[in-house]
Structure 1
Amino acid sequence: MVRPVMPLSRIIGQIQGEFSGPCLIFIAGIHGNEPAGVKALYNVFGALENSKATVFGSVYGVAGHLWALERGRRYEKQDLNRIWDQQRIDAIDKGDFIPHTQDEKQQLALYRELRKILKKEKGPVYFFDLHTTSGPTKPFMTVNDSLINRRFTQQYPIPMILGVEEYLDGPLLSYLNQLGYVSFGFEGGQHQDGGAVDNHMAFIYLSMVYAGAISKHHIDFKTYHDRLNDQQQIFEIFHRQAIASSDQFKMNPGFMNFQTVEKGTHLAQLNGRPLHATTNTQLFMPLYQDQGADGFFLIRPVAPFFLKLSTLSRKLKLEQLLKYLPGVKRSKDSANALLVDKRIARFLRRPVLHLLGFRSKEMGETHLLIRHREVHTHKASYKNCHWNRW
């Protein structure tokens, strides 16, 4: 069992290498009931301090929700991983944001710490958001589908989920991706599974190798790789079962992450009404905890051909043609965004938008707000990275 983390500081650990190199920032415990990543970072930093391994660049371990971690609670009143919207960030930057809840106080402190690191470091910069799930699961990654994210994460021998940010409001990773950095999440197992700590340690070491912060010959690379080694498959989300604060939701027992379910399978109860699978599909992140706004997701595999076609379309910048189509116009309220009238541009469904590199948000029943994933990418920063030479 992974016990709640006792009082700690915002910086779990920091290593400044003797030689120049990348900047790796591991964020753990943004949810207070997910201490495995925090404990893994303590273990890794402790081991590296006592080893003779040469570290290139800098490595940081940053704790998320200190108040919640000390109490073993997910959050106080607001999910710290759902309040990183642009309006909030703008208010913080202007000095207009006054935190009231513990969640808001933690956000402000975490934001200032991350900005301080970014101001100091030259990069290339990598962000890793460490999590666990309420239900049983094998390790996997959640990835915003920019080309640099996709290329970097394809080094790992584990499944990845694309597009989760389209179904969530204000996650930290969306903010970090909008800054243009390689940023993605790792889910290391179930909250209270002791193996989740070991999974996180393996992921941290592999990440350091893949980013060029440490040589694979200076760690037990094979052991860490073999611990996570699984079918390297890519999925996308196509349905989210949202839960309002007033809803009564109960997931039926016994479901596992990535489990295949047949059409008609009774999945959960929502306000006394049964919820069934509407098609043959795979279940993703079924909710088995009291706090949370996501009951479950449904996912499907992404064909390799589609990924190659998507890469080609972005290299050719075909997305630039979109603004000339009927039913598409620039958004007045959001920079670098387009507003799509679904009644006119009926062919612009999510698969087409994903192909062109856009992520979308529903704006009522008639419109989509879309942003291109590559707009803010720090392409030059990663140009000479070994994983980006293809």
Structure 2
Amino acid sequence: MQTSLNKDKTQTESPERIFHHIVGKSPGSTLVFFAGIHGNEYAGVKALNTVLSNIDSEQIKGEVYGIYGNIKALKEKRRFLDSDLNRMWTTEQLAVLKQKPEFNQEQLEQLELNAFIIKLLSTNSRPIYFIDLHTTSSKTLPFITINDALINRKFSKCFPVPVVLGIEEYLEGPLLSYLNKRGFVSLGFESGQHTDPEAVTNCEAFVHLVLNCSGVLKEPVHKSLKVYEDYLKQSSEEVNSTFEVIYKHHIQPKERFVMEKGFISFQNIEKGTLLAHSNAKPLYSNYNAKLFMPLYQKTGNDGFFIIRPIPPVFLKLSEFLRKIGADSLLTWLPGINWQDKNLGILKANLRVTRFMAKSIFHLFGYRNKQIDETHMLLYNRERVAKKHLYSKEPWY
């Protein structure tokens, strides 16, 4: 479906895009919740309607937004209509929008969302928190996904649920990566399975905790805070480790992918476990690890992921190396040069990097994307992170 757009491409958001906006009586941080980026994921919308409807401006310092993601897809209860709105936020795709005379439905949604983001960033000099609320097609523990920046890691520690790093290496164009490139705290929360009522309750508890931890509440409700923490601890089965993605099965166009029945996220799997079939051929695990987000819906091209826990000592070491700016040492290696030092982007020759474990780059904060047959780009979120905005926040 293509639609012409005659008005300025920097159009403002439609009135229905912002379904909650609470402006406090005193200055403070800005908290932005996105819900329904995928139109078959309602838990975030329901949770925000329940929680934010019961909060008034007298309780708030700063501002709180509830933003619809894919409005048309939500109305039709579909993940998307023309293209996945959470895979469209690359520099290249956004540049193409400026040249297009016609747009599909998700591109229209993206134009409005981007107009809101640009306007917000241009008029705000205080800390901004971006929270993207989701659910999954498989049964899962509630969990957080983040781009691997220290400000995201620190803020994620406020919540008693597992955290998954590194998914940005395996996804092309998610909204959170777009926001992280601008240096702001941005995290995703997956509250449970699409149709499970507990996913809504998990999301409500998480929204309450975000309101408290971000400092936008004038008087944090500590008694209630423990109730929500205990609820999420129980829902996550006391799992609060940090994991990283080590593999993804990407479904190709016209591939017939069928996940084996009964798998759930964070389930232990052994090497040789039959996970799915691709074009009638069996797919087995090559790892002793955990299965993550197995696909049990017809739309989407992320068949399944495999994750493993990151040792705490590795997390501490990587934090130390990043704080002292040790990543500059990588440019001493042959075949590795700055693509853009200010943005923290290295260009590396694959003939060199194939002899280096991914974990080495991860220590220094770099996640990679191959760009052609000979080179890849390595991205570091630390060099663009707006640490100065958050350094006085209570969680920092």
Query: Same fold per TM (> 0.5)?
Result: yes
Matched, 1:224 2:232: no
* Residue identity opposite 1:375 in structure 2: R
Q: Which residue of 2 aligns with 1:23?
A: 30
Report the CA distance shift for 1:345/1:253 in structure 2 as closer, same or farther (over 3 A).
closer
Uncovered stretches (5+) of structure 2, i.e. residues with no partner: 1-14
Report the AA paired with residue 146 of structure 1.
A
The within-5 A match list for 1:138-149 is 138-149=141-152
Inter-partner Cα distance in structure 1 for 2:103 and 2:319: 44
- The residue aligned with 2:108 is 105
Compute the displacement of 1:362 (Å). 2.1
2:197 to 194, 197, 200: 194
Range moving further from structure 2, 115-124 or 56-65: 115-124
- Which runs of structure 1 show a deviation greater than 6 angstroms over 4 or more consecutive aligned residues? none
3-state SS in 2 of match to 1:47:
coil
Aligned partner of 1:308 among 296, 303, 316: 316
Q: TM-score, normalised by structure 1?
A: 0.92
Question: Which residue of structure 1 lines up, in the alignment, with residue 52 of structure 2?
Answer: 45
How far is 1:217 from its partner? 2.1
Q: Which residue of 1 aligns with 2:326?
A: 318
Q: Distance in 1 between matches of 2:190 and 2:343?
A: 32
The corresponding residue for 1:384 is 392
Aligned counterparts of 1:339 and 1:364: Cα–Cα separation in 2: 11
Is contact 2:24–2:58 with CA below 8 Å preserved after alignment?
no
1:14 pairs with one of 9, 17, 21: 21
Separation in 2, partners of 1:42, 1:99: 33
Residues 173 and 185 of structure 1 are in contact (CA less than 8 Å); yes or no, is this contact kept in structure 2?
yes
Among residues 271, 279, 289, which one is paired with 1:271 in the alignment? 279
In structure 2, the CA distance between the partners of 1:217 and 1:336, relative to structure 1 (3 Å rule), is closer
Q: How much identity, in percent, do the aligned residues show? A: 44
Residues in 1 aligned to 2:388 and 2:188: alpha-carbon distance in whole angstroms: 23
3-state secondary structure, aligned to 2:315: helix
**Is it true that 1:238 corresponds to 2:246 in the alignment?**
yes
CA RMSD of aligned residues (A): 1.9
Q: Gaps (5+ residues) in structure 1?
A: 1-7
Contact 2:192 2:199 (C-alpha < 8 Å) held by counterparts:
yes
TM-score, normalised by the number of residues in structure 2: 0.91
CA separation in 1, counterparts of 2:384 and 2:271? 40
| Structure 2 Cα separation of the partners of residues 28 and 277 of structure 1 | 33
Q: Distance in 2 between matches of 1:359 and 1:131?
A: 23
Structure 2: how far apart are the matches of 1:134 and 1:26? 21
Supply the distance in 2 between the matched residues of 1:258 and 1:85 (Cα, whole angstroms).
29
Aligned to 1:280: 288
8 Å CA contact retained: 2:343, 2:380: no
Q: Residue 374 of structure 1 aligns to a residue in which SS?
A: coil
Distance 1:99 1:109, change over 3 A: farther
Equivalent-residue separation in structure 2 for 1:98 and 1:198 (angstroms): 43
Q: CA separation in 2, counterparts of 1:331 and 1:177?
A: 18
Matched to 1:77, the amino acid is: D
SS of corresponding position for 2:395: helix
Q: For the structure 1 residues 195 and 99, does the alpha-carbon distance in structure 2 shift closer, same or farther, using more than 3 Å as the test?
A: farther
- How many correspondences in the alignment? 377
